[in-house]
Structure 1
């Protein structure tokens, strides 16, 4: 029993044989020519944000207010969440009182040491009393420094009850609910900045030697105008599964309609090679068959070709044609004329 592939291939040969001399000889033709063109490499890429973060709680408490939700745009330093601050405020007040007490004790210790320094030359106090006063003065100074450090820590903990955006961007996820009790380290919000974007792709190992500091990359997203950049980082280690090398291409800032997670095409060119390009109108597409009407001494014959890239109404021919061949400019017109 013949396979489906064999039957299909036989049918294509029969179709090609039946179309010899079918098309009229006065069809408009184009002469096949080759030209030296850059070797073009195209890779699949994904857009990602350079600045993306998940904010976590740096103190414990209950969620008092939520000012933003998913998909909201947030300005830098805007307050996005508030936590109850009863304990933190009390700790700050205690630290402030401790500092005031330490300052008062330090002032008294410094005055006592100065008095004894004046009395010691007169023999009114002993050397031991003077040394003790000096030790107490230094200890009081250290106590003031420790109280100041404790006050700074208490103030910072109090500030942690008001969570601010580290950069301008879009909220992608909210991890807490209003009224929920949270603990230190718990995730609060996730988001990314729209200002700095980059494209990430995997480069096959065979192209490593042709990429250098002068390589110009072009990025196309959903038919938009190409974005060109030489600002890239090529990783120096390969993925163990795919054996490809990751590349990050930094994009110009503040480009509109670029969003993380979007698919894109990343391309670059290197070297030169001889290629044949023909108009797309000259190609007849029949299921899996790509063919052109080749002009011969007996008329037009359907000739199968293997195609490559397509761009600007032109298509690259990898095999099936040679330079100076003549083909019908409109393959479908040739097919219709041949059926008449």
Structure 2
């Protein structure tokens, strides 16, 4: 009788311990496959609880307002830079990350975290031009330049069928690249030139849209977008599943574009650093990392993952750009408080015109 009571006590203790093993993940929506999460939970007898954000600014604002207790966050480089400067992150213990060697060195030591003291590359996206291939052919338009987004001579044929991202940094970056500047140019004169370019094009656009443009592309309501490579990939998959008579494809403009490298980081207030390291190392395994790319078409910095990625994805230049294209890609840097105020004022002017 005593041993049965003891066994019951032990089982209850184990269950209670496992109940406490909850990894709190703050992530982009649809940025990790459900089967990957399930496999990790089984491997560690734990649970993963996720909260989601749709924009880095949204995530930073929530944390600034006091949100705490997240074990892992998956921000873009410029947001990582901001979090490091705020002292909001916990340094990594690389002894707990033996799979770190799988990351292509080209994606390590980025400007936002030169020694990768705080961040591990997760995935990347490009901000480029996505379009309805059949409609653009019918209109005899070329998509190799940001001109098709900004110049009225082209937009007249597309009026009401174009959306651009509802993102200050991303839209300004596209305009700056078209004008021949860096996406990280902070000269206010150049920002005003970009503002004027955007305001001139705005009457031809259907909307500023960072979410539902995937569906609008898929059903054929929108023919051209300024959007993220993985969203455009998803729109094409959805169009094929719905047996649409068109394909959604993408183009990296010749002037260049933004590459957004998302990384896994540990929030300092998280209570499970050991479990967080186990998750990071798990995601650094090639098979696990490849699942994300196969699901949403994200770029992948993991060399071991390449062998598991479907050929039609690994050979897509909008997902895996070649060397010549990579030279034209830039990562956004964080802005200081003064620059943010100027950008906010310019964005208000754009929206009110």
TM range (shorter): under 0.3
Higher relative strand content: 1
Higher relative helix content: 2
What TM-score do you get using the length of structure 2 for normalisation? Answer: 0.19
Larger Rg: 1
What TM-score do you get using the length of structure 1 for normalisation? Answer: 0.20
- Higher RCO (CA < 8 A, seq sep 6+): 1
